[in-house]
Amino acid sequence: MKWIMRGALTLLLTVALAYAGVCAYLYIKQRDMLYIPPKEVVAPNVEGVAIEVVTIATPDGETLNGWYTPPAKKDGLVFLYLPGQGGGLDMQAGRYKRMAAKGMGFLSLAYRGFFGSTGQPTEAGILTDGLAAYDWLIRQGYKPEQIVLHGHSLGSGPATYIATQRNARGLILEAPFTAASDVAQERYPYVPVGMLMKDKFANRERIRDVHMPVLIVHGDRDSVVPYHHGERLFALANEPKIFKRMAGEDHSTLTRAGVYDIYWAWLGLTSAKP
């Protein structure tokens, strides 16, 4: 009987130590898993689009890289594009071509620690970066009603935050999460993510404080941020709001699937309705 008890205790201790080891590993490596900065920084080379590399100073002393193209008309719209966890500005050529072809301007931001920007990424830092990018556009002479906030995936975090702090034409959330910590909890259901995760990006809490038009677009076969995140976030958003389901689309296929036609319609730039 004692032998059985000792064996059971040994097994229980082994399982507990293994579980603690997994939690410790995830805690230590969490930012390496959340942020995936590109290793190579390249110059803009998008056919048909004149892009200027700009630098943006943050209030806490970091220097950010951005790719910028002004709108075709002085009073035209400019997108503040906030990318996902990869954050490579050169990976968005399809977006740049579509915006430029429509006469839109854009500022595509490299967060701290990404694509030549200084510093190390954290939630607080990335939220600061987003505000710094918005304020840079204001200093260039753009009015709030000319600025469209557009966050994809991880970028939905800073985009939603900016919308609680500044005015804009509207907020576009493409493949957004209710919170980064919610996605992590779904992937690791037996780990106390809420206790361990430092950078939660809780859009579900901030969206209630957004008082501008909101458009949420999500692919119903998203393999990175499940579709139900977009639905839940939409339910929490204030009016006016629109949700668009992209049937059969994954996390990063929406651009080629025609999502910008939805954006143009939402902004009133075509006769079609989203």
Domain span including residue 81: 35-266
* Res 11: pLDDT: 66
Q: What is the pLDDT of residues 153-184, one digit of tens each?
A: 999 999 999 999 999 999 999 999 999 999 99
Residue 15, domain member (yes or no): no
pLDDT for res 271: 44
Question: Is 174 part of a structural domain of the chain?
Answer: yes
Q: Does some domain include residue 256?
A: yes
pTM for the structure as a whole: 0.93
Check if the beta carbon of residue 219 is closer than 8 Å to that of residue 191.
no
Domain of 56: which CATH number? 3.40.50.1820
- Indicate whether 28 belongs to any domain: no
For residue 4, being part of any structural domain is answered with no
In a domain, 91, yes or no: yes
Q: HSE on the CB side for 175, CA within 13 Å?
A: 27
24-68 pLDDT tens trace = 777 787 888 889 988 789 999 999 999 999 999 999 999 999 999
Query: Which whole-number Å values give the CA distances from 212 to 23, 103, 109, 178, in the listed order?
Result: 39, 23, 22, 18
Window from 10-19, 197-206, 233-242, 264-273 with minimum mean pLDDT = 10-19
Report which of 103, 237, 261, 236 is spatially closest to residue 170, judged by C-alpha positions.
Answer: 237
Q: What is the pLDDT of residues 70-109, one digit of tens each?
A: 999 999 999 999 999 987 899 999 999 999 999 999 999 9
Number of domains present in the structure of the chain: 1
Q: Is residue 163 assigned to a domain?
A: yes
With respect to residue 155, please indicate whether it lies within any of the assigned structural domains. yes
Banded model confidence at residue 21, pLDDT cuts 50, 70, 90: confident
